Amino acid sequence: MSTIVGATKAQTAAAQKSLVWQITLLSGTLGVLLALSLQTQHKIQSQVGMPARWAQLAAKYRLTEDALKKSDREVAKLREQIEKLEQHPSGSSTGRVDAMRKELSDMRAFAGFVPLQGPGIEVILHDSPHAAERAERYAKLTGRPVGEVLQSLLVHDRDVVGAVNELFAAGAEAIAVNGVRLVSRASVRCQGPTVFINGKPTGGAAPYRITAIGPPKDLEMGLRLTGGFLDAENLTTYDLVTIKRLPSVSIPAYTGPTFFDYAKVVPAAKRQKVASTTGTAAP
């Protein structure tokens, strides 16, 4: 405390000296701490290939993904349980209840809540083999730019949509893309190389595997129809598609949400009115 009035010069000098020594000592320690911290951060970055914050984010993302998968499994399990409970009711059942149960189970199958099995086909959409070389050759032949030709040699989401549409038109009763069931609210879209079905990513890049239950011959014919989607878009010409008839195809159940946020069911009393208004408008 050299500021105390009356402190001698010697005291001040001694305090000054001890200050310098202590700062020296602690500066050395600080240097050690900083170097250690710096080296550790370097190591983390070189190991993970990204700053520590990103690595933490990546870990969080993975955790969330795992949790999502877990709840998906739980939903599937619970739905199975519901189905079992409906099939084995505790009380006695009359003919009417049986009929209702039968209708419910049919509705479930139609809506896509149960896995289905039956004859059908498997359609694999893949990029054209040797696409790059082919694109150059075709570009020379036709005089079109290489990039444009190359695009038509690669599979896109619209090809998946087109093939699915043709299959439904040819009488397919149930369709799955990459093992994800297509239901009435299904959507197919591309985000980079990944195809999203019902807003969920399914596998990585092409090939995409479409499975359909229905008359195998009709389905294949419908796909290969001259002037049909595959023909018009040159998917068959450029070898982008492989079709295989199968005696038995398994289509998984739909696992997405089953509620409506906006749509409300029209009450039975009003339904007649709706039907008649559309009826009078038709002619």
Partner 1 sequence: MIWLPVLAFAIGFGAVYLRQFTVPAELASYLSLAAVAGVDTILGGIRSGFEGKFENDIFVSGFVVNTLMAAALAYFGDQIGVQDLYLAAVVALGGRIFLNLSLIRRYWLAKARTARLSNPEA
Stretch of 41-49, 61-69, 146-154, 233-241 contacting partner 1, by CB under 8 A: 41-49
Distance between first and last Cα of the chain: 104
Q: How far apart are CA 69 and CA 62, in angstroms?
A: 11
Stretch that binds partner 1, among 25-33, 163-171, 178-186, 203-211 (CB under 8 A): 25-33
Nearer CB in complex with partner 1: 56/277: 56
User: Positive or negative, the Cα torsion across 222, 225, 231, 233?
Assistant: negative
Nearer to partner 1, 28 or 201 (CB): 28
And the tokens for 67?
């949790």
DSSP 26-56: HHHHHHHHHHHHHHHHHHHHHHHSS-HHHHH
Token pair in block for residue 159: 């090809």
Q: How far is the CB of 44 from partner 1 (least distance, A)?
A: 5
Choose the stretch contacting partner 1; rule: CB under 8 A; options: 24-32, 79-87, 184-192, 225-233.
Answer: 24-32
Interface positions, 46-75, toward partner 1 (CB under 8 A): 47, 52
Give the SS3 label for residue 140: helix
Residue with smaller CB distance to partner 1, 38 or 232: 38
> Stretches 36-44, 86-94, 161-169, 172-180: which one binds partner 1 (CB under 8 A)?
36-44
User: 33 vs 63, which CB is nearer to partner 1?
Assistant: 33
Instruction: For CA atoms 243, 244, 248, 252, give the dihedral sign.
Output: negative
CB of 66 to partner 1, least distance (A): 19
